[in-house]
Amino acid sequence: MAERTPLIAGNWKMNTVLSEAVSLAKAVSEASSTAPDVDVAVCVPFPFLIPVKDALAGSKVGLGAQDCYYETAGAYTAAVSTTMLDSIGCDYVICGHSERRATFGDTDEDVNKKTLKILSEGLKPILCIGELKEERESGETFTVCDNQLTKGLAGVDAEAMKNVVIAYEPVWAIGTGLTATPEVAQETHAYIRSWFVENYSQEVADGVIIQYGGSVKADNVDELMGCPDIDGALVGGASLEAEGFGRIINFVK
């Protein structure tokens, strides 16, 4: 089995002002220096990408955007292209987050176009998948994951999968304080890994980073990261608090 390096990524969402963003980035940079076997990234609001990039200089923390558009350029008011993101030094781009799907209407087809565009630019997509509360309760979790993976990764070959991160985020656990138990999270992560065996290969399945997201905090990260198929976390609210996020980065297995 491939040895996977965990990825802890903070998704700041629509939070912080400039001074807060720079200060938080510096704190994350410092916290990451004591976690040598963990990859770290922060996915920050568009206006703060460049100053945060500057604040992270000299650290190992990767820079991520929270979304993009799938066209290269043109009359798309307020849209941000992968070319723009690449030009300022982004490493990661989140795509398919449930808030983009629910609030802004991103379809699986939109998510797929974004995924392909991010990859074509040489950036790494963090592809988010996950079920609603009612889908979990009706036993549809695996079906939802299968559908979102099948559509979201259409046209992505095994070689490209080396640059794709999957983030499993049960929608009912995002920002609610509810967290899937480690057993529930591991069960779904194991299914996702088996999906890659079936649809790609054992080699791809062994190598793909599958993050867990959904109210990850300093007091539950150790237990979650002890699960064999959980390879990191996509952290929302807790990534805005420097000390707590530093503890998440420095999780203990």
| Whether 169 is catalytic | yes
Query: Does residue 71 have a pLDDT over 90?
Result: yes
Query: Does residue 144 have a pLDDT over 60?
Result: yes
Mean pLDDT value across residues 127-141: 96
Res 173: pLDDT:
87
pLDDT in tens, 148-195: 999 999 999 999 999 999 999 999 988 787 778 999 999 999 999 999
Residue of 108, 192, 189, 182 whose CA lies nearest to 152: 108
Residue 40 β-bridge partners: 8
Find out whether 220 and 179 touch, Cβ atoms under 8 Å: yes
Mean pLDDT value across residues 234-250: 98
* Confidence tier at 2 by pLDDT (50, 70, 90): low
Query: Does residue 92 have a pLDDT over 70?
Result: yes
% pLDDT > 70, the chain: 99
- What is the secondary structure of 24-86 as a DSSP string? HHHHHHHHHTT-TT-EEEEEE-GGGHHHHHHHTTTSSPEEEES--BSSSSSS-TT--BHHHHH
Helix 182-199 / helix 141-152 crossing angle, nearest 10 deg: 40
Res 29: pLDDT:
98
Query: Does residue 1 have a pLDDT over 60?
Result: no
CA atoms within 13 A on the CB side of 152: 27
Print burial letters for 134-172: b (CB count within 10 Å at least 16), e (below 16). Answer: ebbeeeebeebbbebbebbbeebeeeebeebbbbbbbbb
**pTM as predicted:** 0.97
- What is the secondary structure of 124-164 as a DSSP string? EEEEEE---HHHHHTT-HHHHHHHHHHHHTTT--TTGGGG-
How does DSSP classify residue 238? Answer: G
153 vs 80, 139, 174, 218, CA distance in Å?
Answer: 21, 23, 23, 32
Catalytic residue, chosen from 99, 131, 169, 189, is 169
pLDDT in tens, 15-68: 999 999 999 999 999 999 999 999 999 999 999 999 999 999 999 999 999 999
Res 122: pLDDT:
98
pLDDT in tens, 114-133: 999 999 999 999 999 999 99
At 116, is the secondary structure helix, strand, or coil? helix
Catalytic residue, chosen from 97, 99, 121, 189, is 97
